[in-house]
Amino acid sequence: MADPSDFWFWLLVLGVAVAGGGWLAFRSLHIARLIEDTPTSRIRSAAQGYVELAGRCRPLDGTQNLAPLTLRPCVWWRYRIQQKTETGSPGKRRQSWSTINSGRSEQPFLLDDGTGECIVKPSGAEIVTGESTTWYGSTPWPTEPPGAGLLRSQEHRYRYFEERIYEHEQLCLLGQFTSHSGSGAPDAQAEVAALLAEWKDDQARLAERFDTDRDGRISLGEWEHAREEAKRTVLERQLERPARPVLNVLSRPESGQLFLVAALPEGDLARRYRRRAVIAFVGFFAATYALGWLLQGVFG
């Protein structure tokens, strides 16, 4: 007689596979179409809001980012450390890997597409990397670089996994684009008040310039003329100042839209998500068939 615990185990596994496979298939297909349907914007002329950007990445000036397990310099990393565990009775031992430590980089980096630069804040982004490394060891934290202990006989109870995006890699991104002035907007009213105060400190000069009726005092009308002259002077000074630098930022959309950072060209990225959708659909149909077969075998 079949063990009832096996039935419930496989019922749970297949149920999760059906739900997860269907969700992953439709989500991957949606992302592929979103990538293909969203035109790539140039940083210099990008509209404020949800955009797709493409360019090469590099660290912000004066910053350094090292991947924690390999200590390789990069602009972004993610790692996971797993421990091997065994469960079940002596005759039916099952091995599995459980995650005991993980992390990901939240440090901003710079994107350059040749027309401008944009700061990328990767917090909350779905990241697709071009390189990952997996290796094994006997300690909860790697003490040797990948491949160093392959020739030595030791029990590999820990598995290390690390992904990285390197400087100058070509990226494709979807996110919320905003531009900010490098400093606050000039306060013209405050500048006019300061200039008038400066003029009032030199009463002789003030009368020479604005006492048009030469009665020895500045009337209300003459003071209004001085105010207009101060406004004109402040405006001229502002126009002569160098343009303030614009700070462009790409970050997670508040609306909940997809925030994606991928170290792949747009076409390759869309094809990857379409392949993922196909695989998920195959898994969905296979799990649905297996679940139906399981239920038919039990309930006839």
Regarding whether 233 and 214 lie in a shared domain, the answer is yes
The SS3 call for residue 172 is strand
Distances (CA, A) of 249 to 115, 116, 122, 131, 294: 15, 11, 11, 25, 52
Q: State the total domains in the chain.
A: 2
Q: Average pLDDT over the chain, rounded to whole?
A: 86
Point out the domain boundary residue: 240, 255, 277: 240
Instruction: Give the structural domain span for 214.
Output: 188-240
Query: In terms of domains, do 177 and 281 share one?
Result: yes
Residues 52 and 147 in one domain: yes
| 68, 197: one domain | no
Are residue 276 and residue 257 in the same domain, yes or no? yes
Q: Is there a single domain that holds both residue 174 and residue 108?
A: yes
Between CA 49 and CA 256 the distance in angstroms is 13
Do 130 and 173 belong together in one domain? yes
Residues 50 and 125 in one domain: yes
State the pLDDT at residue 1.
42
Q: Do residues 101 and 220 both lie within one domain?
A: no
| 110 and 235 belong to one structural domain | no
pLDDT band at 233 (very low <50, low <70, confident <90, very high): confident
Q: What is the distance of C-alpha 205 from the center of its chain?
A: 58
3-state secondary structure of 166: coil
Tokens (6 digits) for 171: 């990226």
Q: In 3-state terms, what secondary structure has residue 234?
A: helix
Q: Do 158 and 59 sit in the same domain of this protein? A: yes
pLDDT digits (tens, 9 = 90+) for 47-101: 999 999 999 999 999 899 999 999 999 999 999 999 998 876 666 778 889 999 9
Same domain for 232 and 122: no
pLDDT tens-digit map of 129-177:
988 999 999 899 998 888 776 656 567 899 999 999 999 999 999 999 9
Looking at the chain, the whole-number percentage of residues with pLDDT higher than 90 is 46
